[in-house]
């Protein structure tokens, strides 16, 4: 028996995916959070710098998953109330990824400072 709990955003969090073709929302969130962290680490490791300043649009340096899942829920249901989702297909994970990156874009620039 799988444990399922609901959120206010029309997304259900299941302990187990109902089929081999699907993954739980929690698994998708963990995977996408890791991709986001990997991208930040890649930039830090590959862009030569003496000092690193990070600026966030809303002064938050983490993914606000409650907001991303709310937007995603609206997208997949097509209405303001969202739709219950316990597990995601590959296409839905891709859309969740697209939504996450659109809401948490990562960019960088370099500049020289004169002594």
Q: What is the pLDDT of residues 78-97, one digit of tens each?
A: 655 555 566 888 999 999 99
Q: What is the pLDDT of residue 34?
A: 95
Q: What is the pLDDT of residue 30?
A: 95
Q: Containing domain of residue 98, as a range?
A: 27-45+58-106
**35: pLDDT confidence band, cut at 50, 70 and 90?**
very high
* Residue at 6 is within a domain: no
Q: How many distinct structural domains can be found in the chain?
A: 1
| pTM score over 0.75 | no
The distance of Cα 87 from the centroid of its chain, to the nearest Å, equals 15
* Residue at 83 is within a domain: yes
* Residue at 62 is within a domain: yes
* Residue at 77 is within a domain: yes
**4: pLDDT confidence band, cut at 50, 70 and 90?**
very low
Task: Tell me the per-residue pLDDT of 56-83, one tens digit each, with 9 for 90 and over.
Answer: 666 667 899 999 998 998 888 765 555 5
What distance in Å separates the CA atoms of residue 86 and residue 53, rounded to the nearest whole number?
Answer: 38
What are the C-alpha distances in Å from 102 to residues 2, 11, 15, 65, 95?
A: 32, 19, 27, 13, 10
């Amino acid at each position: 028996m799988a444990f399922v709990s609901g959120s206010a955003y029309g997304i259900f969090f299941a302990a187990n995916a109902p089929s081999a073709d699907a993954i739980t929302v929690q698994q998708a969130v963990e995977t996408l959070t890791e991709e986001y962290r990997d991208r930040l680490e890649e930039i830090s490791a590959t862009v030569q710098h003496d000092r690193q300043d990070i600026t966030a649009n809303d002064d938050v340096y983490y993914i606000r998953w409650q907001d991303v899942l709310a937007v995603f829920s609206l997208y997949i249901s097509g209405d303001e109330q969202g739709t219950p989702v316990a597990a995601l297909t590959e296409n839905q994970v891709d859309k969740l990824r697209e939504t996450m990156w659109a809401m948490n874009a990562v960019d960088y620039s370099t500049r020289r400072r004169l002594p």
